[in-house]
């Protein structure tokens, strides 16, 4: 699979983050081509655009032939997806925690009813 798309060249890190953050190459191209806001520092540009209600951030460096090297991407206010193996490992603990919370609420509810 190529790590290039139109005038964009993706680093390995940025390429991996596309999937982690449920982004696609075309969305990144739209953000870079038509940003709502652009922030420039010494070497890099940070492009920001809201697409489909998601505030997408892209950090890129200009390279030859009017191309951009995409360094990283993320969506403001969203967490990365957890890897499936991590979901499997943590599932029993989440279930136990959920059961303990139910028990705690039931005990606390009985105590508050008895106090009345």
**Per-residue pLDDT tens over the stretch 61-104:** 999 888 999 999 998 876 766 777 888 898 999 999 999 999 99
Question: Which contiguous run of DSSP H or E holds residue 17?
Answer: helix 12-20
- Cα 47 to Cα 71: distance, rounded to the nearest angstrom: 12
Q: d(Cα 19, Cα 63) in Å, to the nearest integer? A: 24
CB distance 100 to 38 below 8 Å: no
Whether the predicted model's global pTM rises above the 0.75 cut: no
pLDDT confidence bin for 17, thresholds 50/70/90: confident
């Amino acid at each position: 699979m190529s790590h290039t798309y139109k005038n964009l060249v993706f680093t390995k890190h940025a390429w991996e983050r596309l999937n982690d953050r449920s982004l696609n190459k075309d969305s990144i191209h739209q953000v870079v081509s038509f940003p709502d806001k652009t922030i420039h520092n010494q070497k890099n540009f940070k492009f920001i655009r809201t697409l489909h209600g998601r505030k997408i951030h892209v950090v890129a460096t200009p390279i030859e032939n009017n191309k951009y090297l995409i360094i990283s991407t993320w969506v403001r206010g969203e967490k990365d997806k957890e890897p499936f193996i991590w979901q499997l490992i943590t599932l029993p603990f989440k279930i136990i925690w959920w059961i303990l919370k139910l028990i705690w609420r039931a005990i606390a509810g009985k105590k508050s009813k008895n106090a009345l």
